[in-house]
Amino acid sequence: MTTLERPTPLPTMTDKIARIDAICDQARILPVITIAREADILPLADALAAGGIRTLEVTLRSEHGLKAIKVLREQRPQLCIGAGTVLDRAQFEAVEAAGAQFVVTPGVTREILQAGVESDIPLLPGISTPSEIMMGYALGYRRFKLFPAEISGGIAAIKAYAGPFADVRFCPTGGVRPDNLLSYMGLPNVMCVGGTWMLDSGWIKNGDWAAVEKCSAEAMALLEG
């Protein structure tokens, strides 16, 4: 095999950790989006972006998830689009093919962790226990989503994890709201938070994109202090 025929090597786990850091540090708030209607894809993304939220986690919780990822990657290249609620290797491969720039899972299996090791794009695996952190840690993961954050110990748990897992950082998701946002973001081992409070179902159902934009802008303003 000549040099030209050799496959491009996969990014190292260190490279992918750096990419997750860049994505999450820039995002700070990662909206967890479930698309109920195909017609909502672009106006919802535009409303979030107008409010200052330009990194989006589009979940596979509806039939429109994969389509939304494809559409946004094609038509809104200025946004950073990730895939959420990825449950197995087949879904991982599907969102990768759709153009997702990162992947988020609600939990971990050996299969999904290995898929992340073997992929070009970074994986942010979901955990809720120290044992799950250790499972990912053994494969080189150092960045995790804590889910569901409040039920899994919230701020107190993240503080406790800083002891045995000093080089690990988290994206807490599940129960994060404007009234506890700053408490989470004030922790040194939190890189961003995930949330849905700017995605009120009534606003989206009624096409009230101005309300989505306003809520997003208010959330980002909280972080500006």
Residue of 57, 96, 132, 150 with catalytic role: 57
- Indicate if 16 belongs to the active site: no
Taking the C-alpha atoms of residue 21 and residue 135, their distance in angstroms, rounded to an integer, is 20
CA angle 139, 100, 171 (to 5 degrees): 55
CA trace torsion 110, 85, 161, 187 (10° rounding): 150
Taking the C-alpha atoms of residue 187 and residue 144, their distance in angstroms, rounded to an integer, is 15
Q: 18: burial class by Cβ within 10 Å (0-12, 13-18, 19+)?
A: middle
Residue of 70, 96, 145, 150 with catalytic role: 145
- Indicate if 224 belongs to the active site: no
* Of residues 111, 91, 42, the one with CA closest to residue 103: 91
CA distances to 24, 29, 48, 181 from 219, rounded to whole Å, are: 16, 8, 11, 8
Taking the C-alpha atoms of residue 119 and residue 177, their distance in angstroms, rounded to an integer, is 32
The residue written with tokens 């330009």 in the block is: 54
CA trace torsion 209, 210, 211, 212 (10° rounding): 50
Q: 5: burial class by Cβ within 10 Å (0-12, 13-18, 19+)?
A: exposed
Give me the active site residues, please: 57, 145
